[in-house]
Structure 1
Amino acid sequence: MTTRIVIHAGFHKTGTTSVQSMLRENASVLEPHVRVFLKEAFDGLTESARAFSIDPKKKTLAAVTRAAVAFFETVDRKDPRPILMSSEDLSGHMPGRHGLECYDSAGLVMKCLSDAAFRRFGNDTDLTFYFSTRMREPWLRSTWWQNLRSTRLTDDFETYSNQFDAARSLDDILEEIAHDVAPARVTSFLLEDAATLPLGPLDPLVTLLELTELDRDAVVVLPPENVQPDLGIDAVFLALNRSELPERDVQDAKRIVRKMAQRPAS
């Protein structure tokens, strides 16, 4: 029996939260057809991948290997259903944090994952690494917003985006990953193109898994999540980050502003 595995390993700010929310929402519909593993099922693996991304050494890479082997050892080899793993943190920390400009460590992490999967399920394993991607400018703007919201980032968007001028593109990273994980496959899909599909950003994954018996009409499609509000609050957050306020006060203020932005218009 050949085991089909799809690993959705990134990238940040490409609809991954929306995908994972739909996987949770539709767990009972999907369960007969696919084994879904989200971040909480392999926390040790994502933590080691993030650690390696900011400290790429043999020791931290060995920790990724151990975590990958440990996770796959928990997965039943006799279950005929395909396997889906989904967490953008498998690619490491989001660019813009810890001095990272791109996913330069991702290829070696995916190599650890592929080696562990083939070791557990055999050399005939049907293994695909799937990456949701996004056009460069909206992707940079979205990572800027996420970092602005979650950290004390003090750069405006122009200053922030300029630091990525010499960084490798997501396509370059995908090419490197494909080289590292061969004979496993690497495929990607633009978020902008997925927006028009019946199941949104979940659609390419369902197609890859070849869930021919799944009733797609029974799948609940959720609206996009973790989207930047178009209310100008980025300027508020930037001012808070640049202020002399203590960290706790800044985070409390951001939380209040975000709640206000989420209120329905009267």
Structure 2
Amino acid sequence: MTARIVIHAGFHKTGTTSVQSLIHTNRRILERQVRCYLRPDFQELTDACRVFSVDPNPRTILGIADAAGAFFDGLNPDDPRGILMSSEDLSGHLPGRHGLDRYDAASLIMAQLTECIRTRFGDEVPLTYYFSTRGRKDWLRSTYWQNLRSTRLDLDFEDYSQQIAPAADLPVVLDEVAEAVSPAAAVAALPLEESKDQPLGPLTPLMDLLDIPEVTRSKLRMLPPENVQPDLGLEDVFLALNRSGFKDRHLRAAKKLLRQLANKQSEND
């Protein structure tokens, strides 16, 4: 019987990219004890979760059920290794896009995933949803940068912060998820401000939940933090570009070039 299942389902901009890079880099070592799955392994499921977050209705929640069923049915319930899944898109789209100002869909998505998992693995396998979090101000600043560089967001930071203020109440979302999946699953969380200083950085809480022994942890290769905002004052530049008359394709090219230059400068510093 599968030992345990841990699903790292969010939140965006809380060190998730760094966690996933660590899992990918150390997959061969980790998979001696735990089956590791990242977004490319269950792309149809994350796509369905994102669709539902924008358009919640019986048809789109069925899309999650179908995608989840197809993925979990492909996993062997008799494999004694644990299961680790990680993708922040399991909570839906990043707030600030598609008119979303909160993780309204997260609790409904986790409830649907729980039902599919219990159908496949039974009621005895421990199931935990883990969410990395972040302090309100830092989370708002980080999501602002993400949306600024990836979309045509034309709000300044103050207006943006007011518009998606409900999304920054991550503890409220956690309570909603816990209520939705109880008693069939547990919910755990830790702020990035705490996990980043642990021995394996933001990967540490997941290793703890999976009971990965120290002998295995000592073999893992560490990586520098990823997807970090460059400290070069690009926010104002990107905001001006988003407000400009550039066509979308030219805007994307300009942002890509600036980010490449920023990364190159960072590497040379």
Give 1:1-266 correspondences, 5 Å limit.
1=1, 3-167=3-167, 169-183=169-183, 184-212=185-213, 214-263=215-264, 264-265=267-268
Change (3 A) 1:174 1:18: same
CA contact under 8 A between 2:50 and 2:93: conserved in structure 1?
A: yes
Q: The residue matched to 2:37 in structure 1 has which SS? A: strand
Change in 2 beyond 3 A, CA 1:13/1:167 = closer
Shift of 1:38: 0.5
Aligned-residue offset at 1:211: 1.4
In the alignment, the residues of structure 2 paired with residue 252 and residue 163 of structure 1 have an alpha-carbon distance, to the nearest angstrom, of 28
Q: CA deviation at 1:129?
A: 0.3
Tell me the secondary structure at the aligned position of residue 5 of structure 2. strand
Instruction: Provide the rounded CA distance (Å) in 2 between the counterparts of 1:25 and 1:55.
Output: 35
* 1:3 CA drift (Å): 3.4
Q: Which runs of 4+ in 1 moved over 3 A?
A: 165-168
Q: Secondary structure at the match of 1:188?
A: strand
TM-score, normalised with respect to structure 2: 0.96
Superposition deviation, residue 215 in structure 1: 2.1
Conserved? CA contact 2:95–2:164, under 8 Å: no
Task: Using structure 1 for the length normalisation, give the TM-score.
Answer: 0.97
Local SS of the residue matching 1:9:
strand
SS at structure 2 position matched to 1:215? helix
1:167: how far off?
A: 5.0
User: In structure 1, what is the Cα distance between the partners aligned to 2:137 and 2:209?
Assistant: 27
What's the CA shift for 1:214?
Answer: 4.5
Identity of aligned residues (%): 54
Q: Check 1:166–1:262 CA distance in 2 against 1; reply closer, same or farther (3 A cut).
A: closer
Whole-Å separation in 1 of the counterparts to 2:50 and 2:165 = 23
SS at match of 2:10: coil
CA contact (8 A) 1:33 1:214 kept: no
Evaluate the alpha carbon distance shift between residue 65 and residue 194 of structure 1 in structure 2; reply closer, same or farther with a 3 A threshold: same
Q: Deviations over 1:24-80 (max 9, x none)?
A: 111111110110011111111101100000001111011111111111000011110
Give the AA of the match of 1:18.
S
Distance 1:168 1:11, change over 3 A: closer
Query: 2: CA distance between counterparts of 1:176 and 1:12?
Result: 17
Are the counterparts in 1 of residues 22 and 222 from structure 2 also a CA contact under 8 Å?
A: yes
RMSD, aligned CA: 1.2
Does the CA contact (< 8 Å) of 1:3 and 1:121 recur in 2? no
Question: Any unmatched runs of 5+ in structure 1?
Answer: none
Paired amino acid for 1:78: D
Q: By how many angstroms is 1:213 displaced?
A: 6.2
TM-fit CA distance, 1:166: 4.7
**Can you give the 5+ residue segments of structure 2 that lack an aligned partner in the other structure?**
none
